Structure 1
Amino acid sequence: MALNYDLYKVFYQVADNLSFSQAAKKLYISQSAVSQNIKNLENELNTELFIRSTKKVKLTKAGKILFEHIEPAFNLIASGEESIKEINALKRGEIHIGANDTISKDFLLPYLNKFHQLYPEIQIQITNRTSSTCIELLQQNKVDLIISNLPNPKITEEMKVQKIYSFNDIFIAGNEFEEIKEQQHSLKMLKNYPLLMLEPKTTTRKFLDSLLAEMGTEITAAIELGSVDLLIEMAKIGLGIAFVPEYCLNLETDDLFEIKIKEKLPARELAVVNNKNIPLSNAAEKFLQLLTD
């Protein structure tokens, strides 16, 4: 016998209320329609489910057994419907974001704080990886969206890219290099000083290497690290000159200065990236709207 959900829905309401009229009210159908549905179900099961009288309705033994089996199922369905309503109303749910450490700390934090204030019941998960690795997380559907440095050669045509912030990268140094503070220098000159750089796998390092190659300049890193924060701290204590995004530090309070470069370095951008063919959850849509507004 093929399962007829409508028949069981009517049976559940009659059995739960022990009333054909109450079941009709809750289902927004006529009492005669309720009676016909129960009759059809009894015919399909070849058994009586209710003892009917003028005063009240009782379940037969078979009706009690059937109700015991389907009541948990209908409770689960009701719970599921309520959960969906809560998710759509942003009263529950989660959002999973991929971003590198620097973007998470120096760019995303104010947005995460505002989102949490607006939707405190939404759970926020952040996976910290390089911008290149975040693309892989997106391809594996392990995150809803990522915040990436551009250019990022791993972005594919299946991904939607929305630019959200423009910034410049700068060379910084501490007081140990004060003799070059007021002068303007060429990129070639920098190879005479110890350079602190991010690891080659990062988009920032790839950007710098590509830029130097276009200008016919080759610079070897004195120290390579995976953290912009560490680059900044090492520049502070005079270990070398660091190349970092401008938004991750405050030169007025960090006891550092920007080295003036003759060549004009192209600006870069941050973008929010998600899969074109996978719909975002309501929570992810709201966070995306927060970023793009």
Structure 2
Amino acid sequence: MDINLELYKVFYYVATTLSFSEASRQLFISQSAVSQSVKTLEKKLGHTLFIRSTKKVFLTPEGELLLRHVKPAIQMLDEGESLLSGDTLKGQLRIGASDTICRYFLIEYFRKFHQAYPDVRVKVTNSTSIGCVELLEKGQVDLIVCNSPNSRLGTHTRVQILKDFHDIFVADPNCFAFRHLPCSFSDLMQYPILMLSSKSTTSEYLYHTFALHDLKLLPEVELNSNDLLMDLARIGLGIACIPDYMLSPADSLKPIPMTEVLPSRQLIMVQNDNLPVSQAAERFLELF
């Protein structure tokens, strides 16, 4: 059974304090997050672990049985953390994001966070925006930064908009002689289009946008890296579609003027409401 360790940790603190509010205080998370984590664990195990009354919380027989097995494991983990801990914030920050979002947006925030909390280990897992949602659902990361709209986001998430951006078509002006400027989507179909793979939110969004104009998008190249798309566009292999925040004024690639502007999208920070947020993740969120 695949159950995130953080759920057992929340259970342990509630079971040993017999108080949702005290567990919330010790874990540095909200009481509602504690309650939701317990409900999620109970649902996954198929057993009620606590009897809740207006004044007290009691363990059920199943809860007492689980505590006997969870308690030694959590105490060993806490002892290990205590050996490494001091007065400064320690632990691990687990972030999921694509390489593009990391390089062109998050790197500065990682720098600020590391300067403020040098003892916290930052673990970054690279994946597409779609893949990042799966990492979050499995509890393998604390937070993800991804593109929106994102068809894979479920209802049990907390979303914070970080940045609005537009996707733009770029090319080396020396490699293509455009007959008409500004170009329409239909005009672009006459040139080789370089895009991210079909398993990305960007491709989903572009296919949908072109379909709204009764056009079937047929990319010449599909890759998993925006940087590689730009490299191929620089040598004249085609027209790349990239987020506008990637392009610097000094780049040989230039935006193609368009008669139809692609709708704006957002970079968003997403949390899983079913899992408690670590103290390191809370500090990282404060940067935004």
Give TM-score, length-normalised by structure 1.
Answer: 0.69
Q: Which residue of 1 aligns with 2:93?
A: 95
AA in 1 matched with 2:122: I
Q: Which residue of 1 aligns with 2:41?
A: none
AA in 1 matched with 2:218: T
Tell me how far 1:83 sits from its aligned partner. 5.8
Q: Which residue of 2 aligns with 1:193?
A: 191
For residues 122-271 of structure 1, the aligned pairs below 5 Å read 122-180=120-178, 183-250=181-248, 252-271=249-268
State the secondary structure of the residue aligned to 1:234: helix
Tell me how far 1:218 sits from its aligned partner. 1.4
Q: Which residue of 2 aligns with 1:284?
A: 281
1:170 and 1:245 in contact (8 A); partners too? yes
Tell me how far 1:130 sits from its aligned partner. 0.4
Tell me how far 1:183 sits from its aligned partner. 1.9
Show CA shifts across 1:233-265 (max 9, x none). 111111000000011221x22111100110122
Bigger proportion of residues as helix: 1
Aligned-residue RMSD, C-alpha: 2.2
Q: Which residue of 2 aligns with 1:108?
A: 106
Q: Which residue of 1 aligns with 2:67?
A: none
Q: Which has the larger radius of gyration?
A: 1
Give TM-score, length-normalised by structure 2.
Answer: 0.70
Query: Whose RCO is larger (CA < 8 A, sep 6+)?
Result: 2
Matches of 1:187 and 1:177 in 2, distance apart?
19
When residues 269 and 76 of structure 1 are mapped into structure 2, their CA distance, relative to the original with a 3 A threshold, is closer
Q: Which residue of 2 aligns with 1:119?
A: 117
When residues 211 and 83 of structure 1 are mapped into structure 2, their CA distance, relative to the original with a 3 A threshold, is farther
When residues 182 and 132 of structure 1 are mapped into structure 2, their CA distance, relative to the original with a 3 A threshold, is same
Matches of 2:106 and 2:88 in 1, distance apart?
20
AA in 1 matched with 2:148: L
Identity of aligned residues (%): 41
State the secondary structure of the residue aligned to 1:192: coil
When residues 78 and 133 of structure 1 are mapped into structure 2, their CA distance, relative to the original with a 3 A threshold, is closer
Matches of 1:95 and 1:177 in 2, distance apart?
44
When residues 197 and 79 of structure 1 are mapped into structure 2, their CA distance, relative to the original with a 3 A threshold, is closer
1:198 and 1:228 in contact (8 A); partners too? yes
State the secondary structure of the residue aligned to 1:175: coil
AA in 2 matched with 1:271: I
Residues paired across the two proteins, number:
214
Matches of 2:82 and 2:221 in 1, distance apart?
55
Matches of 1:182 and 1:90 in 2, distance apart?
60
Show CA shifts across 1:199-227 (max 9, x none). 00011111101101111111211111110
Show CA shifts across 1:111-164 (max 9, x none). 000100010000000000000011001111000010010000100111111111
State the secondary structure of the residue aligned to 1:254: coil
1:175 and 1:238 in contact (8 A); partners too? no
Which of 271, 274, 281 in structure 2 is aligned with 1:274? 271
When residues 245 and 272 of structure 1 are mapped into structure 2, their CA distance, relative to the original with a 3 A threshold, is same
